[in-house]
């Protein structure tokens, strides 16, 4: 079932490109206003004792214009990675590992276990942001991660006790990670082809490209069963994973989107035309958000796309998220549960006073940002969220890191037991 016609697709892609480039120009000139509009910049992270960890929110904005030329170049086809791992590729129809088994009901941690795991559920959570996973040799390109860089990111996360959780669990304050693990969220914007590419094997069958993001993730999940699973793919529904310049991938759109949902990944809203929300009317915003959701539901019936990766990170005029909270379009009601920013620091715990699901900060996956924050984590372990293994309890150390003192918002702990140790 393909709801799209080729002419519409071509026009749509042209629109996306045009809006993208125009939008970035506006984005660059207005990014300061953006920062002012954000109610939860978590400035402590960026300005406290470690000056090396400084991460002004505007910094990622300042680099955004670099994205413009990258949108129009096409390095990936010329530099397609080798497919010598073809035999180990996960199959698109493999449903054997569709669901992470639920953790057994957790007993309260013993004093010994508390000391062993050092849970800190008031700590911060990294939400990483990826755009393109492609071979490339331009170190200035902050919007492309090579397959090997991405593998390195995942290996670092695994080696440092991180555990991949769905964005919805974070937004809903239902984080479910084993005791002692640090939750992390992976997000992928734009549905670029390098995120999920199908390739033909020697025997003529199709399989997931082991050098695409999904191929790399599946390889990790197969090797490490204590790494969690998931990733939010905020696609552009006119050409899911068929952009840029990957017409041959269009035929797999429905299979890919269903495969993602069946295998523990999530789909996010990114509007239909990658609009700059400051540029358009409220009615246009409502239409773009609703139609994106409807188009994805044509591929995957009843799909939940209630988290929005805000295009360019540019929120509606004045930082007003009222529409996100709920709107009507052509007689139907819609609502978002969360919205993701562009930049530039770890996100607060869902029970932190600064937590606002409509303003979730993300860390861009370039060497500079990741290097900064990975070092920050290593140097400041007491600031990071560490799970107690039980989604029904909020466990916080008595001697919490100075940045986290008095930052628990009791109103966000409803239905949960708060344990201090
Ligand atoms: Zn985007």
List pLDDT tens digits, range 166-203. Answer: 999 999 999 999 999 999 999 999 999 999 999 999 99
Distance (angstroms) between ligand 1 centre and the Cα of 85 equals 30
Helix intervals (H) in 38-166: 43-47, 57-63, 67-72, 75-78, 111-117, 147-159
CATH number of the domain residue 340 falls in: 3.20.20.370
**Per-residue confidence at 140, pLDDT binned at 50, 70, 90?**
confident
Distance (angstroms) between ligand 1 centre and the Cα of 308 equals 11
Amino acid 383: pLDDT? 97
Amino acid 104: pLDDT? 56
Inside any domain, residue 76: no
Inside any domain, residue 352: yes
Number of domains in the chain: 1
Inside any domain, residue 289: yes
Respond yes or no on whether the N-terminal peptide bond of residue 275 is cis (omega within 30° of 0): no
Half-sphere exposure of 265 (CA within 13 A, CB side): 26
Which residues sit with Cβ closer than 5 angstroms to ligand 1, an ion?
189-190
Which structure tokens are listed for 370?
A: 């990741």
Cα 60 to Cα 57: distance, rounded to the nearest angstrom: 6
Distance (angstroms) between ligand 1 centre and the Cα of 350 equals 25
* Per-residue pLDDT tens over the stretch 327-384: 999 999 999 999 999 988 999 999 999 999 999 999 999 999 999 999 999 999 999 9
Which range has the worst mean pLDDT, 74-88, 138-152, 357-371? 74-88
Three-state DSSP at 307 gives strand
pLDDT over 90 (residue 46): no
- Average confidence score pLDDT of the chain: 81
Q: What share of the chain is helix, strand, coil (3-state, %, to 5)?
A: 40, 15, 45
Question: Does residue 242 contact residue 193 with C-beta atoms inside 8 Å?
Answer: yes
pTM exceeding the 0.85 threshold for the entire prediction: no
Cα 143 to Cα 134: distance, rounded to the nearest angstrom: 10
Cα 345 to Cα 243: distance, rounded to the nearest angstrom: 28
| Mean pLDDT, range 97-116, rounded to an integer | 72
Distance (angstroms) between ligand 1 centre and the Cα of 16 equals 10
Q: In Å, what is the CA distance from 334 to each residue of 144, 268, 304, 343? A: 33, 14, 11, 26
Residue (of 269, 275, 285) closest to 23 by Cα position? 275
| Mean pLDDT, range 298-305, rounded to an integer | 95
Distance (angstroms) between ligand 1 centre and the Cα of 270 equals 7
Which range has the worst mean pLDDT, 4-13, 23-32, 68-77, 100-109? 68-77
Amino acid 339: pLDDT? 98
Domain span at residue 330 reads 6-69+122-391
Distance (angstroms) between ligand 1 centre and the Cα of 209 equals 22
pLDDT over 50 (residue 56): no
pLDDT over 90 (residue 57): no
Distance (angstroms) between ligand 1 centre and the Cα of 144 equals 13
**Per-residue confidence at 102, pLDDT binned at 50, 70, 90?**
low
Which structure tokens are listed for 9?
A: 């697709």
Inside any domain, residue 11: yes
Find the angle CA(420)-CA(228)-CA(107) to the nearest 5 degrees. 35
Q: In Å, what is the CA distance from 340 to each residue of 29, 204, 310, 363, 376? A: 20, 40, 6, 11, 22
Amino acid 167: pLDDT? 98
Respond yes or no on whether the N-terminal peptide bond of residue 344 is cis (omega within 30° of 0): yes
Which structure tokens are listed for 203?
A: 């025997």
Query: What's the Rg (C-alpha) of the chain?
Result: 21
Which structure tokens are listed for 195?
A: 């995120």
CA 84, distance to chain mean position in Å, is 29
Question: Does residue 130 contact residue 414 with C-beta atoms inside 8 Å?
Answer: no
Inside any domain, residue 83: no
Cα 15 to Cα 284: distance, rounded to the nearest angstrom: 15
**Per-residue confidence at 105, pLDDT binned at 50, 70, 90?**
low
Distance (angstroms) between ligand 1 centre and the Cα of 56 equals 21
Distance (angstroms) between ligand 1 centre and the Cα of 136 equals 19
Compute φ and ψ for 194, nearest 5 degrees.
-65, -15
**Per-residue confidence at 136, pLDDT binned at 50, 70, 90?**
confident
Distance (angstroms) between ligand 1 centre and the Cα of 271 equals 9
* Per-residue pLDDT tens over the stretch 84-94: 333 333 444 44
Inside any domain, residue 150: yes
**Per-residue confidence at 138, pLDDT binned at 50, 70, 90?**
confident
Cα 250 to Cα 29: distance, rounded to the nearest angstrom: 35
Which range has the worst mean pLDDT, 12-26, 27-41, 220-234? 27-41
Inside any domain, residue 271: yes
Inside any domain, residue 89: no
pLDDT over 50 (residue 69): no
């Amino acid at each position: 079932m393909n709801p799209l016609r080729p002419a519409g697709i071509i026009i749509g892609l042209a629109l996306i490109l045009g809006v993208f480039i125009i939008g970035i120009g506006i984005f660059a000139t207005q990014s300061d206003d953006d920062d002012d509009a954000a109610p939860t910049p978590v400035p402590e992270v960026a300005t406290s004792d470690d000056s090396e960890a400084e991460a002004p929110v505007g910094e990622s904005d300042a680099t955004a214009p670099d994205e413009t030329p990258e949108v129009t170049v096409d390095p990936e086809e010329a530099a397609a990675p080798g497919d010598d791992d073809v035999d180990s590729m996960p199959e698109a129809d493999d449903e054997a590992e569709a669901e992470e088994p639920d953790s057994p009901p957790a007993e309260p941690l013993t004093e010994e276990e508390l000391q062993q795991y050092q849970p800190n559920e008031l700590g911060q959570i990294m939400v990483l942001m990826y755009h393109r996973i492609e071979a490339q040799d331009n170190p200035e390109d902050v919007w492309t991660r090579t397959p090997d860089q991405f593998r390195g990111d995942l290996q670092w996360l695994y080696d440092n006790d991180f555990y991949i959780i769905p964005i919805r669990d974070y937004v809903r304050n239902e984080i479910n990670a084993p005791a002692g693990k640090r939750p992390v969220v992976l997000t992928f914007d734009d549905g670029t082809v390098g995120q999920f590419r199908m390739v033909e094997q020697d025997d003529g069958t199709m399989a997931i490209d082991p050098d695409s993001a999904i191929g790399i993730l599946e390889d990790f999940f197969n090797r490490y069963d204590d790494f969690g699973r998931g990733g939010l793919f905020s696609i552009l529904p006119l050409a899911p994973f068929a952009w840029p310049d990957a017409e041959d991938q269009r035929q797999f759109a429905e299979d890919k989107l269903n495969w993602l949902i069946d295998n523990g990944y999530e789909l996010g809203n990114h509007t239909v035309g990658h609009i700059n929300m400051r540029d358009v009317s409220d009615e246009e915003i409502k239409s773009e958000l609703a139609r994106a959701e409807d188009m994805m539901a044509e591929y995957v019936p009843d799909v939940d796309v209630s988290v929005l990766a805000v295009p360019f990170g540019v929120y509606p005029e004045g930082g007003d998220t009222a529409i996100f909270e709920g709107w009507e379009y052509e007689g139907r009601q819609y609502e978002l549960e969360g919205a993701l920013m562009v930049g530039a620091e770890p996100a607060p715990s869902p029970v932190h006073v600064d937590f606002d699901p409509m303003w979730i900060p993300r860390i861009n996956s370039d060497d500079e940002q990741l290097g900064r924050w990975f070092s920050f984590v290593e140097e400041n372990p007491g600031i990071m969220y560490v799970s107690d293994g039980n989604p029904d309890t909020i466990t916080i150390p008595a001697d919490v890191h100075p940045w986290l003192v008095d930052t628990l918002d009791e109103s966000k702990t409803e239905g949960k037991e708060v344990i201090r140790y």
